[in-house]
A and B are shown apart, each in its own frame.
Chain A
């Protein structure tokens, strides 16, 4: 049973849940962070305020609680008055601020050999404190960009239009767009628009940096130029498709080869006996099974990245624009937006939906 108490913070009455016997509480926030670790890792909720939700990989949603573990394939969603602190692998921390979608995913390395765990926020604000590296460079990002991390404290914002803002308090991160990279040091920040490369690094005063104000600008940008906003999302979706395709092809080939190897194993068992068949399995079939599984992991990773973009950025833009033009559907600005939105949905349907299941919805 969770105890609750009312706490007044900055003049606002907030509901704070107090853990029973958990000495400290951690919650995850919503930005994309990829941490290079060898095995699937979980995050633990150390602290929370309000009523954040956990969406499981089985497609169900429930209230998050102290001590809960957030596993790969799951996401944390915070409302306007929620906050979650999560203890990440290696003792690192992620703080998920209000109105954020934070997700943990697994993916394989470029060779499709080793599994890693990644964190991402499609919307909202996540603050990371990475003190301990886990054996290799740690990668952080949003749906729009990723960054290499070398021991640092920084914020990742993801706005209503999909724009990402990285702001470093201390340490160094390298933010990468589709092809270009910029390095950020203490007190620097950079914005990355969907589908574009990072802008020039700027000095960021973290004392005055406020996600609500920054995101209000992003919302205004959507309403001022809905067509440009959805076109940018479409461009980013095409970039994600370009990431997906090599893995998709490699996975299909690996799956076909795996089936051939399995048939060969059955032939060996029938003609030569169980022992040679088992040896063939250990040496040939098993490694191919592992590789096929890892390739499939990356197909899912890029597909779920696209789903997140479609649901939390394209969907947000649709809600903002469609409702404001519901009594003025003949406006040219709106008609142009709707046509591009429909093209984007069709593109998503053709490229990514074949890799989704009902449980993802």
Chain B
């Protein structure tokens, strides 16, 4: 009987992991965020969902997303040893954490799924907010970024 229960619990655990979206798994989120300091702009562009949200700006083109990551590198941006402070579900007010305007509200309605998460990250120098969404080989895409908060 105990063996059956253990097996069942194991199966449930595996099923749960397989069905939890990457944006809601802290390890998977951390895996994507670690690219920010480690990867080049091209890799980060591929790890970004489009349209992308930078503060209140909607970035549609891959060349602009690439310019964003390259610009952050040239601007000496480093996340450093980071700690995920919170992982919050997206709701009707989430757009306000990026910008209080109609375009950003529409952006969330049109492009951000229910499985997306707002991830608050404490980096070496400051705290930032990331919007994580989708599934890229088990890790989420970065769909938005704002900060320092």
Closest to B51 in A: A361
The interface stretch among A131-139, A245-253, A313-321 is A313-321
Q: Is the CB of A325 within 8 A of B75?
A: yes
Q: How far is the CB of B147 from chain A (nearest CB, A)?
A: 9
A130 to chain B, nearest CB (A): 27
B74-115 with Cβ < 8 A to chain A: 74-77, 101-103, 106-107, 109-111
* B20 adjacent to chain A (CB < 8 Å): no
B residues near A312, Cβ cutoff 8 Å: 60-61
- Identify the closest chain B residue to A316 (Cβ): B64
A305-347, CB < 8 A from B: 311-312, 315-316, 318-320, 322-328, 345
- Interface residue A79 (Cβ < 8 Å from any Cβ of B): yes
Do B76 and A361 touch across chains, with their CB atoms under 8 A apart? Answer: no
A172 to B59, CA, bound (A): 36
Which one, A59, A319, A320, contacts B110 given CB within 8 A? Answer: A59
Q: Which residues of A contact B107 (CB under 8 A)?
A: 361
When chains A and B are docked, how far (Å) is the Cα of A142 from the Cα of B59? Answer: 20
Which of B74, B101, B102, B103 is in CB contact (< 8 Å) with A323? B74
A99 at the interface (CB under 8 A from B): yes
Contacts of A311 in B (CB 8 A): 58, 60
Residue of A nearest to B63 (CB): A99
Sorting the interface of chain B by its residue count into under 10, 10 to 19, 20 to 34 or 35 or more gives: 20 to 34
Chain A minimum-CB-distance residue to B77: A326
Judged by a CB distance under 8 angstroms, whether A6 is at the interface is no
Question: Does any Cβ of B come within 8 Å of A77's Cβ?
Answer: yes
Q: Are A349 and B71 closer than 8 Å at their CB atoms?
A: no
Give CA–CA (A80, B46) in the complex, Å. Answer: 14
CB contact under 8 A between A358 and B106, given known A319-B59, A323-B72, A327-B77: yes
- Report how far A323 CA is from B56 CA in the complex, Å: 14
Rounded to whole Å, the gap between the CB of B96 and the closest CB of chain A is: 15
Judging by beta carbons under 8 Å apart, are A319 and B64 in contact?
yes
Residue pairs across A and B with Cβ atoms less than 8 A apart, 24 shown, are A61-B50, A79-B61, A99-B63, A101-B61, A123-B61, A315-B60, A316-B64, A319-B59, A319-B71, A320-B67, A322-B54, A322-B71, A323-B67, A323-B74, A324-B75, A325-B75, A326-B75, A327-B76, A345-B101, A353-B103, A358-B109, A358-B110, A361-B58, A361-B106
Contact surface of B with A, Cβ cutoff 8 Å: 50-51, 54-64, 66-68, 70-72, 74-77, 101-103, 106-107, 109-111, 125
The 10 closest A-B pairs by CB, nearest first: A323-B71, A361-B106, A324-B75, A358-B106, A323-B72, A99-B63, A326-B75, A318-B57, A319-B68, A327-B76
Interface residues of A (CB under 8 A from B): 55, 59, 61, 77, 79-80, 99, 101, 123, 311-312, 315-316, 318-320, 322-328, 345, 349, 353, 358-359, 361
